[in-house]
Amino acid sequence: MPDPLFRCHGLRKRFGSSVAVDDVGFEIAEGEAYGLLGPNGAGKTTTISMVCGLLEADGGEVTLGGERLIDAPARVKARIGYVPQEIALYPDLTARENLTFFGRLYGLGGRALQSRIGEVLELVDLAGRADDRVSTYSGGMKRRINIAAGLLHRPSLLVLDEPTVGVDPHSRNAILERVAELNRDGMALLYTSHYMEEVERLCDRIGILDGGRMIAEGTRRELVDRLDRADRVELEVDGAAAAVAEGLAALDEVDRVQAADRHVTVLARGARRLLPRMLELAERHGAEVTSAQVIEPDLEAVFLHLTGKALRD
Amino acid sequence: MRAALWIAARELRVRLRDRSALVVGVIAPIGLALIISFATGGDGAPFQAVAGLVDEDGGEIAKAFATDVLGSDDVAQVFEVRALASRDEAVAGLENGAIDVAIVLAPELETITILRAPRAGIAGEVAASIAGNFAAQLAGVGQAVGLTVMTSMFGADAFGDDGPSFDAFSGARVEEVELAELDVEALAEEVADAELSIVLEDASAGESGLGSAAYYGPGMAMLFVFFLLGAAPRSLLAEARDGTLARVRAAPIPVAAIVLGKGLATALLGLVAMLVVWGVTVSVFGQSWGDPVGVLALLIAFVLAALAITTLVSVYARSASQADGYVSIVAFVLAMLGGNFLFLGDLPEALQTVARWTPNGWAMQGFVTLTADGGGVASVGAPILAILAFAAAAFLAALPGLRRWTEA
């Protein structure tokens, strides 16, 4: 296998007595899309901050194109495009002024910069609003220009930290389309999200983070195969969900159960055949099942299998 | 460095566009200057006071002080000097309002006492500044006197075409012809023995209220510049919260460029604001702040100190609103202690000493010196150095917090 474009290993970060990231490592090949999946607080943003040189790691190493971040921070940073979770733009400046400012920080200038600004504005469909202040944009437009600012210097690796948070479904789809297009054009991606479907849609390989540790890594297929053909069952119950979950956990076919409010998530082999028994058991516990859904193995089920928790806890 | 300039340019654009800098830095100080003008009954006329001189010494130095310092053109613009026979006559004059301040030269020149009416605080400050400057330069005078003695013995030609000069003597030039009229040997003897101390005393009761935009102008500008400059560390905190700081830090630029860029932009705004107040005071109220180079040097030094102090108090705040609170408290406390609201000379002696521990106090002293004796930048060297020392100390103390902030 050729040398990867990006590599990090043994990354550690501690804040006081709390360990945010513990021994995290992964590689990204040229043109590959790598997803970091995990619930809020799993360590995704801390990992990305260390990858982008925003946070000094307590241990471990980051390399891009064979150069260590610690040895050549400016050269490594110049090859990374960073799209933070927040709308990291100046609202009182226009889109063009924002892009001009960030482009200059990457050493761009003159006609080359203006031409590149035109290109990225076209890419995110905002050329017509280039001279409007960002404060007048809708949430989706702000997200798109937020991504555009990370593309100006044609990075080798685009790092996107939850770029669709708080965006309506239509804008979200548009953003994912653009990101996929960039990846198809050869740009490597490091994409973090707690939306499993985004990571499944975009990423070639996926790392699952929980409690600051990388608990699994592989392609979607490889991860799902870990489930041993277990399906995920989502139950909505009117009654004691916790008692129902406790009863379900006693069944041999059930791998994991997790209850939250009126919602019970079950990971079980032969789930379709097991469903009538589940409904019966719920009734015995004085709860009525108002909705039941059997879902094919997916990353949500993988996460439940690995951690005993739902991804969106 | 280029990155710092881009950041400074962006910061300026944002600050000017949101209009806060315009309001805090320009409109508010000008508005306050107008209010002060009305409140103090200022009619735009330049500061003028009547000073009584009591010469209990009668020696050559005292004579030189009377004729060459108080009699100089610069001081004549500020004080109309009247010779008085005794301290009692001076006190009576202060009480009946005939004079605003009296300068008493004690026998053997052990002290120079400034007696002033409380209503004439600024006149006392100005007189004390003149006397202080005179005392501080006696050593230089001693050197000049030595030269003069030599000149009287060997002739001016022995020391170059221009001959000796009394330039160091309180900024007042004494022509060779006047030197010849002095008993230079007696003067040299007196200078060698002299060790002056300056005493400022309130000598009569009276209504306060006499003021001048030449004093309050810089005082108010100093207060407002704190609020203006406090926006720099606050905006850094806001950028950390909004994510723009992280995005800037992800760029291939040093962290120092971010701090430098923001500091540069804000210092420039602060300086421009103070220049505007200066300009308005001069052009609208006709109140001179003194030598422009000296004023500019004082303003630059003060802006640096205020920037460092606001940064220091902000970097240890937990939020932008907490930082705002800290900056407001510090701005008002320093302004109060430093004599921005009240004439320094009106404050109790203990507070006058405390004023020396504030950049505001030093700056006010500097402005009074510039206004009083018409000296150049050299006459405010000590205040400028003291203010820069405050700036350096505050900046060094802020560094650890600043580092934590920019890396958060």
Average pLDDT over residues A129-136: 94
Cβ–Cβ gap B243/A88 under 8 Å:
yes
Q: Residue A135: pLDDT above 80?
A: yes
pLDDT at A273: 87
pLDDT at B164: 35
Q: Which of B242, B247, B253 lies at the smallest CB-CB distance from A82?
A: B247
Cβ–Cβ gap B243/A87 under 8 Å:
yes
Q: Which of B18, B244, B252 lies at the smallest CB-CB distance from A77?
A: B252
Model pLDDT for residues B218-272, shown as the tens digit of each residue: 888 888 888 888 777 778 888 888 889 999 999 999 888 888 898 888 889 889 8
Q: What is the pTM of this model?
A: 0.69
Q: Does B404 contact chain A (CB < 8 Å)?
A: no
Q: How far is B32 from chain A (nearest CA, A)?
A: 29
Cβ–Cβ gap B6/A85 under 8 Å:
no
Residue A272 is encoded by which pair of tokens? 């379709």
Model pLDDT for residues A44-89, shown as the tens digit of each residue: 999 999 999 999 999 999 999 999 999 999 999 999 999 998 999 9
Cβ–Cβ gap A93/B247 under 8 Å:
no
Cβ–Cβ gap A105/B251 under 8 Å:
yes
pLDDT at B41: 52
CB-CB neighbors (< 8 A) of A82 in chain B:
246-247, 250
pLDDT at B391: 94
Model pLDDT for residues A230-275, shown as the tens digit of each residue: 888 999 998 788 888 999 988 888 888 988 888 999 988 888 888 9
Q: How many CB pairs under 8 A join A and B?
A: 66
What Rg do the C-alpha atoms of chain A give, in angstroms?
22
Cβ–Cβ gap A90/B244 under 8 Å:
yes
Q: Residue A136: pLDDT above 60?
A: yes
pLDDT at B153: 43
pLDDT at B166: 35
Cβ–Cβ gap A82/B3 under 8 Å:
no
Task: Report how far residue A174's alpha carbon sits from residue A163's, in angstroms, rounded to the nearest whole number.
Answer: 12
CB-CB neighbors (< 8 A) of B252 in chain A:
73-75, 77-78, 105-107
Domains of chain A (ranges, CATH numbers)? 6-224 (3.40.50.300), 228-296 (3.30.70.100)
Q: Residue A145: pLDDT above 80?
A: yes
Residues of chain B with pLDDT under 70: 25-26, 29-30, 32-47, 117-122, 136-214, 285, 345-347, 372-374, 405-408
Domains of chain B (ranges, CATH numbers)? 2-41+212-407 (no CATH), 49-202 (3.40.1710)
Cβ–Cβ gap B252/A78 under 8 Å:
yes
Longest dimension (CA), chain B: 78
Q: How far is A209 from chain B (nearest CA, A)?
A: 22
Between B35 and A7, the more confident residue is A7
3-state helix/strand/coil string of chain B: CHHHHHHHHHHHHHHHHCCHHHHHHHHHHHHHHHHHHHHCCCCCCCCCEEEEEEECCCCHHHHHHHHHHCCCHHHHCCEEEEEECCHHHHHHHHHCCCCCEEEEECHHHCEEEEEECHHHHHHHHHHHHHHHHHHHCHHHHHHHHHHHHHHHHHCHHHHCCCCCCCCCCCCCCCCHHHHHHCCHHHHHHHHHHCCCEEEEEECCCCCCCCCCHHHHHHHHHHHHHHHHHCHHHHHHHHHHHHCHHHHHHHCCCCHHHHHHHHHHHHHHHHHHHHHHHHHHHHHCCCCCCCCHHHHHHHHHHHHHHHHHHHHHHHHCCCCHHHHHHHHHHHHHHHHHHCCCCCCHHHCCHHHHHHHCCCHHHHHHHHHHHHHHHCCCHHHHHHHHHHHHHHHHHHHHHHHHHHHHHHHC
Task: Report how far residue B328's alpha carbon sits from residue B229's, in angstroms, rounded to the nearest whole number.
Answer: 11
Alpha helices in chain A (DSSP H): 44-51, 73-77, 95-105, 110-123, 139-149, 169-184, 196-202, 220-225, 241-249, 271-284, 299-307
Q: Does B244 contact chain A (CB < 8 Å)?
A: yes
For residue A156, what are the CA distances in angstroms to A36, A122, A164?
A: 18, 20, 21
Burial B106-141 (b: 16+ CB within 10 A, else e): beebebbbbbbbbbbbbbbbbbbbbbbbbbebbeeb
Cβ–Cβ gap A54/B249 under 8 Å:
yes
Task: Report how far residue A10's alpha carbon sits from residue A24's, in angstroms, rounded to the nearest whole number.
Answer: 5
Q: Does B10 contact chain A (CB < 8 Å)?
A: yes
CB-CB neighbors (< 8 A) of A73 in chain B:
252
Q: Which of B2, B15, B244 to mutate to test the interface with A (most CBs of A within 10 A)?
A: B244
Q: Does B260 contact chain A (CB < 8 Å)?
A: no
CB-CB neighbors (< 8 A) of A107 in chain B:
252
Average pLDDT over residues A292-308: 85
Cβ–Cβ gap A92/B14 under 8 Å:
yes
Straight-line distance from the first to the last Cα atom of chain A, in angstroms, rounded to the nearest whole number: 37
pLDDT at B211: 41
Angle among Cα B49, B52, B55 to the nearest 5 degrees reads: 150
Q: Which of B1, B2, B247, B406 to mutate to test the interface with A (most CBs of A within 10 A)?
A: B247
Task: Report how far residue A43's alpha carbon sits from residue B85's, in angstroms, rounded to the nearest whole number.
Answer: 85
Residues on chain A bordering chain B, Cβ-to-Cβ distance under 8 angstroms: 49, 52-56, 73-75, 77-78, 80, 82, 84-90, 92-93, 97, 101-102, 104-107, 149
pLDDT at B39: 59
Query: Which residue on chain A is closest to B1 by alpha carbon?
Result: A105
